């Protein structure tokens, strides 16, 4: 069996019919454009090549039921419009400016997410990217000064994430197990977590940004709150 995609010229159809005649073979087709279908039917009849219209009967049935005529334009399903490119750009942006890798993204972002490790900053940014929103995220660690840019952003463009200490403790312990490390590491200790959350709270208050508690929230729920904040302040 041979698949011929993107057949959009009479010459290509004639070539396919001749190939089917030489094999010999049967042509099963899903051609939308009437002029190309007519060419195929004509050529196949002349060359004695059997053909099967797969798409035509379905389109006729849908037309009868819906009362609406098809647009008769090929490739509409895969049409790359402005919204598509905007979404792709937002996804690429989220990957490039994930985890504070490049502070230059902070000033270019539609929204900047800040918070301590394991507060779902990256999944949130990727979810927002699929909504065509350019989101960057910056981890807050006591030993590392945050980029000065976050204090120069409009309040509507920066959002902090916080979480209950006990829940973060569980999440980090599970993370260490996944990595094959001891659960008693400082990273997952409750004392360390309290220090980090207190530090992050200070940074968020200094930035004057909205704070979302992500405890027991799905990424979709957090994203919904972020979108609500963005729309309310625009």
119 and 210 housed in the same domain: yes
Structure tokens, 170: 């569980």
Is 2 a domain residue? no
Q: Higher confidence at residue 122 or residue 64?
A: 122
67 and 103 housed in the same domain: no
Is 4 a domain residue? no
Q: pLDDT grade, residue 47 (50/70/90)?
A: very high
131 and 221 housed in the same domain: yes
Residue 34's domain comprises: 10-78
135 and 189 housed in the same domain: yes
Is 92 a domain residue? yes
Output the pLDDT for position 90.
Answer: 96
Is 229 a domain residue? yes
pLDDT in tens, 53-90: 988 888 788 888 888 877 666 655 555 567 888 999 99
Q: Higher confidence at residue 62 or residue 40?
A: 40
Number of domains observed in the structure of the chain: 2
CATH code, 118: 3.40.50
Q: pLDDT grade, residue 201 (50/70/90)?
A: very high
Is 1 a domain residue? no
State pTM to two decimals: 0.68
pLDDT in tens, 17-27: 999 999 899 99
* Residues with Cβ within 8 Å of residue 25, at least 6 apart in sequence: 19, 49
């Amino acid at each position: 069996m041979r698949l011929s995609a993107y057949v959009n010229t009479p010459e290509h159809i004639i070539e396919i019919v001749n190939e089917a005649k030489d094999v010999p073979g049967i042509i099963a087709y899903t051609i939308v454009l009437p002029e190309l279908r007519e060419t195929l039917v004509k050529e196949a009849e002349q060359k004695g090549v059997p053909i099967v219209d797969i798409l035509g009967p379905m389109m006729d049935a849908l037309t009868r039921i819906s009362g609406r005529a098809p647009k008769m334009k090929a490739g509409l399903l895969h049409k790359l419009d402005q919204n598509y490119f905007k979404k792709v750009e937002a996804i690429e942006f989220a990957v490039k400016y994930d985890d504070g890798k490049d502070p230059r993204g902070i000033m270019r972002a539609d929204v900047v997410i800040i918070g301590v490790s394991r507060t779902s900053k990256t999944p949130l940014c990727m979810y927002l990217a699929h909504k065509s929103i350019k989101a960057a995220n910056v981890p807050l660690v006591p030993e590392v000064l945050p980029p000065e840019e976050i204090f120069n952003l409009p309040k509507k463009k920066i959002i902090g994430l916080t979480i209950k200490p006990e829940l973060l403790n569980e999440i980090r312990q599970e993370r260490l197990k996944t990595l094959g490390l001891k659960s008693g590491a400082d990273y997952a200790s409750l004392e360390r977590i309290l220090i980090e959350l207190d530090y992050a709270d200070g940074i968020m208050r200094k930035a004057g940004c909205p704070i979302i508690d992500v405890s027991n929230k799905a990424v979709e729920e957090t994203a919904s709150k972020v979108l609500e904040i963005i729309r309310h302040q625009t």
